[in-house]
Every structure is written in C-alpha cells, then in structure tokens.
Structure 1
Amino acid sequence: MSTPAFPSKTTLEPSIARWKTPGVLDALQTRRVVLLAGARQCGKTTLARALHQPQAVIYRTLDDVALLAAARADPHGFVAHGNGLMVIDEIQRAPSLLLAIKKEVDENPTPGRFLLTGSANIQSSPGVTESLAGRVAHQRLRPFSAGEIARVAPAFLARAVREDWAGLASSFTAVPGHAPAAPLSGKDAVLMQALRGGYPEVQSLSDKSVRRWHQDYVQALMARDLQDIAHIRRKDSMAKLLEVLAAWSCKLMDVSAIGGQLALARPTLESYINALEALFLVERVRPWAKTDYDRVSKQDKLIMTDTGLVTSLLRWQFDKLRLDADQSGKLVEGFVFTQLAAQLDAQDEPHSLTHYRDREQREIDFVIETPDGMTIGVEVKAGSAVGADSFKHLVWFRERMLQSGTPFVGLVLYTGEHVLRFGEHLWAVPMHVLWGA
C-alpha cells in the first residue's frame, strides 16, 4: 500500500505576507543556524524560499527520497558549503545532520549559513542528542492568522498596552479567495473563519473540500511524520485519540479522563499525546502560578492548534454550530487562542501566555504578561452581549492576585461591534480587533 501524500501546496500562499518573516530575517543576521518549526503545510517552505533569490540559496528538501538517502549516508558531506545560506527542509527526517551542522558552524561561525525547517519538534525525534545550543535561533510558524489573511500588521498587543481602540474597522473583511465567500460580521464571521482554519491550502476551497483536505492531511501525518518521531504501534488508537483531543480542546488537561475514552495504558497515552504535541497539532497553555494561593489550579489547558482541524474531526456544521452555545463557545475560544499565539510569536521580545483557574471556578481564559511587566487578562465571549458581570473574574484577579502597582488591563473579547469601557482599564472589545488594522 502506498504512503498517503500530503495535500498539495497552495498556489495562493505567496501573496500573503507572513508575520514571522522579519523575525527569521533578523535571526539570520546574527545566528549561525535558524530553525523554523511548525505543522506540516503551514507555509514554512514558501517562507524560506521567499527570503532570498533562489540562485543565492542552496535548497534541499528531505522529502526527496534521494536527498534523504544522501543525508543519512554522508551527513558531513551533505551540509558542507561556503558562507551562503543552505536551506534544509524537513530536518526531522535526518536527525544525524545536526551533529554535522554543529561541526560545520563551529569551524565556520559566519551568521546565516543554515535555515532548517521542521514539521516536528526535532528534539522529539528518536536518537537526537544534539540541540545546537548557543548556535540556533528557534522560530515558530503557525497556519495563517486572520490578520495575515486580512493583510494587516500584528497590532493587537500594542493597542491593548496603550488601551487605544480608535479607528478600527467594524467588521470582518473578506479577502477574495481566502476568507468566507461573503463578508460577515460578528459571531458568524468568527465561526466561519474558525470552521475553515488557517492552513494556507484550504483558504480557496469549498466547505466540503476543506473537510476532505483536513481528513487527507491527518491520514498523511499518521502514515508518515509520526513514524519519524515515535514508534506508534496502534494507528487506530492514535486516530481516535486525535478525535478525542479535538473534543477536549480548551479544557483543562486530565489524562485519566481522556484515557477513559480509549483502551490505552496511561504511559502509552501520554507518549501519544506528546507525539501529537511534537507535530504541532495540540498545545498546552500553562497555568498562571505567580502566587502562593493554594486554591489555584496547576493543570495545563489543552488546545488544538487549528480550529479547522477541530471542526473537521468532529464533523461540525455551521448551521448547527451557531445555535449550540457550548460548541460555539469552545470553537471561538480556540480560535482566539490561535490569533493571540500568532500575535505573540510576531513580537520582538517574548511574552508569556497562560490561563487562570481556581477551585472556586474563577477563570480567566488567557493571561498575557509583557516583557515590561504589564499583565493583560483576556476573557472570551462567543456572544454579542456583554455586561459588568463579564468582568467579575478580571476584577477579582487584579485585586487579589497581582502585586500592588502591577499594570493591568482587563479585556472581554466578544462578537459585538462596539468598544465599551466598564471601569478603569477594563474594556469590552470586538473580536475583530485581533485582525483589525
């Protein structure tokens, strides 16, 4: 039986500027090796090829069977070159290259000699002992954000810090060939974009074709990339686990409860979840824990990294979804996570993204901490109505959890159309601010 092929790369992708491009270019100016990692088909290869003129770059993809064989047979000869840039695509398929690259860049430390792309966390590959510590800059690429599709800069965090909400467009702007077929506003716009997800290839497909693309994508991952990073004996259980995790997305991590739906021993289940994390399909949001308050939850929040995959795996339909408060709430929260994560990845300095929950069921969906010490609390509401009660957990958190004098902004992102002030540093903000200019 032949190995399933990955869905073809989109021809529309090059027209979309990626928020990570400046970060990758800056890293190539100062670091010997840059590793651009992210899920399959999120646009890593296109970004890498767009950085320089093709004639100035040595480009080698390890999806090519002959090149992969050469890399494994003679790692040092494969990576040897001058001061120019060598791009090696899908580095996780030949982990032995890392030692050869280390030797090469130690002998010639000129910056910008290697750009590696990986569709799996290279440190998760069997037998990897070399981390390239001190030599490599790590860059994460995600599927398209709504802001990238709308061709705007990642301005949300700067607006939140300044509490500047002036001059924003009042609705979702459809981009021909990429966004939903007709311009929509409010909740419907968010749900339509979340149903499609951010993978470049799906943006121009019909709704039916989007679901088929996601199914083919998962099938190919199970058949190919999983084998590079883990020895999965029961592919049927892994496929079922992915569906369970889609239903679990945006909930607190509970391995025992997840395992109750599968006939897997806990160590096996944990190794399978780790493998899906290594493929950038699921992600953990750590709990906010800067406190001695012993009633704060220490559980991670599990989130699937593309909402389109969630809806395809669960076979959700727009007409039913928009009327189901539980499903739409979960989907909108996951969609907001993907947008916030893309915004954070685009920043020059690292920001932390956590969540807060305690035993009294006080919960803040996302807590962002900036490098200069500001804390931004974000609550997500799928509905278009907002009131003072929507801010009660944010107010409690500000007054009881933060040290006196810590700058704090509390935001409720909702699907209405107006920016509304509910007290000092407390704002109800339309969700379209995440992709607004």
Structure 2
Amino acid sequence: MYPRQTTQTVLRALDEQAAVVLLGPRQVGKTTLALAIAEERAANYLDLEREADRAVLGEADLYLDEQAGKLVILDEVQQMPGLFATLRGQIDARRRKGLRTGQFLLLGSASNVLLNQSAESLAGRVRYVEMPPLQVDEVGADRLNDLWLRGGFPDSFQAASDRASLTWREDFLRTYLERDIPALGPRIPVATLRRFWTMLAHTQGGLLNAAALAEGLGVSGQTVGRYLDLLVDLMLVRRLMPWHENVGKRLVKSPKVYVRDSGLVHALLGLGTLEALLGHPVVGGSWEGFCVEALIAAAPAGTEPYFYRTSAGAELDLILRMPNGEVWAIEIKRTTAPKLSRGFHNASEDIKASRKILIYAGTREVPAGEETRAMPLATAIALLRGL
C-alpha cells in the first residue's frame, strides 16, 4: 500500500465533524483507506451493495443505536438514499449525549447523487472529502512517467507490466459502461457512451464543442450535455470552467474538458506504452490533463480552479484561486526548455496573478522571466501541499 494524503484529511475531518463523506470513482482506494482507518478506531463497516449488509439496516435506528460511540463506515451509501434522514436523527441524538465527532464515514462514487441526498438531511453535520487517484508525491517522482502512462488507479499503477495495466483499465471501462452506469438509472447504449468517452479523450484539454460531439454521435446537443453531466458526476471527467472576472475582455466562455485519469485517456485511445504515447497527437493534452489533476488535488481545500483564454491570445492553462485570496497563474508544457509566450504574461497581468509558475519536463526549479518560476510537477505539488 502507498500512504495516501487523503488519509490524514479524513482523520482530521472525523475529529472535527460528526459525518464525513468520502467521494471518488470506483477502484480509487476509498474502501482500502476506510478499512485502514477502521483498524485504528473502534469501527463497523457495511457495504451497501451487499444484500446482507443492507438487511442489517432494515431497522436502521435499532442497529445504529447499538453502535453509538463507534465509527460506522457505510460504503456505496448512495444505494440507500432514505438512510440520510435516519443519520441526521442519530447525529442529533448523539450530540445531546456529548458525542459530537467521528460518528459516520460515508463512501460513494457518484458525487452529485450523494451531495443532493445529503445536502438537506445532513446540512451542518457533514464534511466532504474527495479522494483522487494515486499522486506523484505518494508513489515517488521516479515513477512519474509510469503514473502518467498508467494513471493513478492503484490496480492499474501496480500491475506487473504495461500490458497488464492496460488490460485492467480496459476491464474497468467495460465494467463502468456495462454495469455501474446502468445501475444509476440512465439508459444509454454502451457503444454510444464508449464512443463519446473516446471522443473526449481524443480532444483532451480542448474547449467543449457540444455541436461537434453531437454531430459525431448522431444525437442532440442536449443529449451530449446529459452524457457529459453523467461522467462529471462519476468523477471520471472534469469540466474546467473559464475565469470570468475581467470586464471588457473578450473571454472564451466554453469550459475545457478533461478525462480526469491519464491512464483512462490512454486506454480509450489504445496507447499501452510510453513510446506509443509520445508519438501520438494527444501527448500534449494528456500531459496537461495529468498535471492539472495533480495540481488541483494538491491545492488546499476550498481552492477554485479555472483556465483563462481571450480572443486576443492571452492564455493560462490553469488558475488556482486560493482560499486566502491569492491567485496563481500556471502554464504547463511538455518541454525541457522553460520558455513562456507573451500571451502567458498578458493573461497573468489580466488576472493580477500573485504567483506565476511554469510546469515543465526539466528536473530543476529555475527562473523563467518576469517573476515566473519554472519547476517540475513534483516541486509544484510540494509547494501546494505546504500551504
């Protein structure tokens, strides 16, 4: 097991709040993390995809009354949406007895479903933590290219070979398309959704063009929006919104779209080796998406991510607006030569950036002109973790 940064985040949250919701796609390591926490604390674990465990909660209040003082871990909690009202009553009753924190750890793989289910019932009683795939500082900077190629799902990253890793990711995609997505309710032809996902991989990091996607799939723009919402909800795709605060500038208003795990990008495109990836047109978009996800995951809780682009050519790959009000301007390039365009500096001035960073493929942090630092991805992650 690799030590996960999310573990400490969850433990702190349990020490401060009655309930914690741990969000993340399937197979990202949520259950492994929860069971590790259960070994450190008095806890009971239930997997609500198992009929027997759901039956235990047939009389939920009776069961949960017996568990007072213990951490109750409920996996795939979105399977029992009616449970949230019961949890609210339990939390309030325990508060009256002086039990205020560390009562429930809820795991789920559909963010909007869980947020909607819990928002009303558990308002003021819950904290949300998102668990990303494995990160560079968890596996070591010497495994950077492996992590980029294979992605951060633990079973994919730790596979015995690149071929075995690719096979795991192909099986993962098939399971999502054939079982997990239909289980959420939407009836979408498997072949259509697979094609849509693959089209997103081909245009990794590009502006959303719903009309072009709709034409390619033979569906309406509204249907494309529904497909995209579904993959975003499952935390498999990111919709990165444009910065919108510069009055008088002609800003791009469409979001950028990324398949969030680089390994899934490569599986959708059939790229099983680093050599195949480096020779493919998606290499730049893949590297950008890999870095964007890593930087957002490392940023402090409450950080807001954006990108910036104007019709005049000013552009930033990533903007991080920190909880303390600082604005970081970040450019990402798969190059060993730390050079920046005039458009980067113009964009940084437009947004009044507090810090300007170039993520590049070199191994050292060096100046890149006009108060800009060029640095490897691992250095930038360490900088964000230290905030």
- Relative to the length of structure 1, the TM-score reads 0.80
Check conservation: 1:28, 1:112, Cα contact below 8 A: yes
Note the C-alpha offset of 1:207. Answer: 0.7
RMSD over equivalenced CA pairs, Å: 2.3
**C-alpha displacement at 1:106, in angstroms?**
2.1
Higher relative contact order (CA 8 A, sep 6+): 1
From 397, 411, 424, the equivalent of 2:357 is 411
The aligned runs of 1:28-427 (5 Å cut-off) are: 28-53=14-39, 56-71=42-57, 73-77=58-62, 79-80=64-65, 81-109=67-95, 110-121=100-111, 123=113, 130-150=120-140, 172-173=141-142, 179=143, 190=145, 192-205=146-159, 206-316=161-271, 317-324=273-280, 326-344=281-299, 347=300, 349-387=301-339, 390-402=340-352, 408-427=354-373
8 Å CA contact retained: 2:308, 2:317: yes
Cα deviation, residue 127, structure 1: 8.0
Give CA deviations for 1:219-275 in whole Å, capped at 9, x if unaligned: 212233213433224222122212122223211122222212112233332222211
Provide the rounded CA distance (Å) in 2 between the counterparts of 1:299 and 1:66: 46
Matched residues in 2 for 1:41 and 1:311: separation?
17
Q: Please report how far the alpha carbon of residue 434 of structure 1 lies from its aligned counterpart in structure 2 after TM superposition.
A: 4.3
How high is the sequence identity, in percent, across the aligned residues?
A: 27
TM-aligned CA deviation for residue 128 of structure 1: 7.9
Distance 2:372 2:332 in 1: 14
Structure 2 CA distance for partners of 1:381 and 1:122, relative to 1, 3 Å = closer
- In structure 2, distance between residues paired with 1:127 and 1:21: 24
Output one character per residue of 1:83-103: Cα deviation in whole Å (capped at 9) or x when no partner. Answer: 211000111122121122122
Deviation at 1:391, TM superposition (A): 4.1
State the shift of 1:302 in Å. Answer: 0.9
SS, match of residue 418 in structure 1: coil
Superposed CA deviations along residues 323-345 of structure 1, whole A, max 9, x for unmatched, are 34x4211111011012112202x
* Secondary structure at 2:216 match in 1: coil
Q: Tell me the amino acid that sits aligned with residue 53 of structure 1.
A: E
Q: Distance in 2 between matches of 1:69 and 1:222?
A: 28
Kept in 2, the 8 Å contact 1:142–1:342? The answer is: yes
The answer for unaligned runs of 5 or more in structure 2 is none
8 Å contact 1:230–1:275 — kept in the other structure? no
The unaligned stretches of length 5 or more in structure 1 are 1-12, 151-171, 174-178, 180-188
- Distance in 1, matches of 2:55 and 2:359, equals 50
Q: Distance in 2 between matches of 1:238 and 1:69?
A: 34
Distance 1:273 1:399, change over 3 A: closer
- Deviation of residue 295 (structure 1)? 0.4
* Partner SS for 2:217: coil
Aligned length: 376
Relative distance call for 1:228 and 1:107 in structure 2 (3 A) is farther
SS of match in other structure, 1:372: coil
